[in-house]
Amino acid sequence: MNVSGLTVNALARELRREGVQIRIGTYLVRIQSSLSSIAQGLHLLYADYPLEPEAAFADFHVSIDPPKNVRRWLAPQVIFRTDGFVPFKPLPADQAYPLLEWGLNWCISTQYHRYLVIHGAVIEKNGRAMILPAPPGSGKSTLCAALVTRGWRLLSDELTLVSLDTLEIVPMCRPVSLKNESIQIIQGFEKTVTMGRASHDTNKGTVAHMRAPTASVMRSQETAVPAWVVFPKYEPGVTAQLDEHAKASACMKIADNTFNYSMLGLRGFQTASNLIDRCDCYTFNYSNLDDAVTRFHDLAQQ
């Protein structure tokens, strides 16, 4: 059964009791929460994801609840826990849902060391994957969201998982995190997208999550072969420009954008360098999403 097989109220009851176990690509996460905003967010944005029985082994056990003090009622806050550990400071209750998504990113980036974990979006067309590594503010997630509404498969908007053995890209398909003006830009670009409730005044500004396309979720067990590494940058008013990028520099940038490169040691270096050897590398400057979609469509046809 998928998450959509439960009503919002039934999902909220299960979250309050023993929690629910949701299959997200290769991993299983058990989520517990007493918050209605978490139940509503999961029901809307994870409707297509499979629920698994409690007896199944979960990779991560997470919870998000109010603290057991006066901050439950006075300027309410929420706390994210994973296996009883609290990696972040409490946040305002209005930010509960984005805190859950940020917490899941933290779990993967700090503990999923069977893969090289790159800070970058990754999408797929015709079995070939395009990695989009970039720092915050580069327009990476906006570009990713636009492309997946135009036929590219979403593997991840935030964390690229590269197999240490085969270099295949392993999907971690979850809702796309959008910030500030990007929320309205994507809603205007594709009016059929489903967007979760916006949370304001976070440390990233206003944040909302776009539901992943059903087709991408249904293919969450299907890996892809890396073919391109593209370093995107949004610049107002520029004409879309795709330029080849030197592989030596691309390898250094990948290393800088990787969470566990140093921890993996020699194997991390070998995986990153072999990945770059296999891929065509580019920089991409853009301002108009339609132009960007056209450029990427042409690239995929080559």
- The whole-number average pLDDT for the span 163-177 is 96
Q: How far apart are CA 105 and CA 103, in angstroms?
A: 5
Q: Which residue has the tokens 């809307």?
A: 44
pLDDT at 259 over 60: yes
Helix axes 289-301, 140-148, angle to 10 degrees: 70
pLDDT at 288 over 80: yes
- Residue 231 phi/psi, 5-degree rounding, is -100, 105
Q: What is the pLDDT, as a whole number, of residue 73?
A: 61
**Which DSSP letter does residue 72 get?**
G
How far is CA 24 from each of CA 108, 116, 171, 178, 235, rounded to the nearest angstrom? 12, 18, 9, 20, 33
Do 23 and 52 touch, CB atoms closer than 8 A?
A: yes
- The whole-number average pLDDT for the span 224-233 is 97
How far is CA 293 from each of CA 140, 151, 217, 284, rounded to the nearest angstrom? 13, 10, 21, 12
Q: What is the pLDDT, as a whole number, of residue 295?
A: 95
| Nearest residue to 279 (alpha-carbon basis) of 162, 171, 115, 113 | 162
| Nearest residue to 300 (alpha-carbon basis) of 242, 231, 252 | 242
- The whole-number average pLDDT for the span 235-264 is 94
Q: Which residue has the tokens 């990476």?
A: 140
pLDDT at 54 over 90: no
pLDDT at 71 over 60: no
**138: confidence class by pLDDT, cuts 50, 70, 90:** confident
Helix axes 247-256, 266-278, angle to 10 degrees: 130
Q: What is the pLDDT, as a whole number, of residue 84?
A: 87
Q: What is the pLDDT, as a whole number, of residue 167?
A: 97
pLDDT at 72 over 70: no
Q: What is the pLDDT, as a whole number, of residue 202?
A: 93
Give counts: helices (H), strands (E), the chain: 10, 17
- The whole-number average pLDDT for the span 217-243 is 95
| Nearest residue to 43 (alpha-carbon basis) of 14, 17, 83 | 14
| Nearest residue to 23 (alpha-carbon basis) of 67, 64, 71, 56 | 56
Range with lowest mean pLDDT among 66-70, 117-121, 140-144: 66-70
Q: What is the pLDDT, as a whole number, of residue 287?
A: 94
Q: What is the pLDDT, as a whole number, of residue 145?
A: 97
Which carries the bigger pLDDT value, residue 107 or residue 302? 107
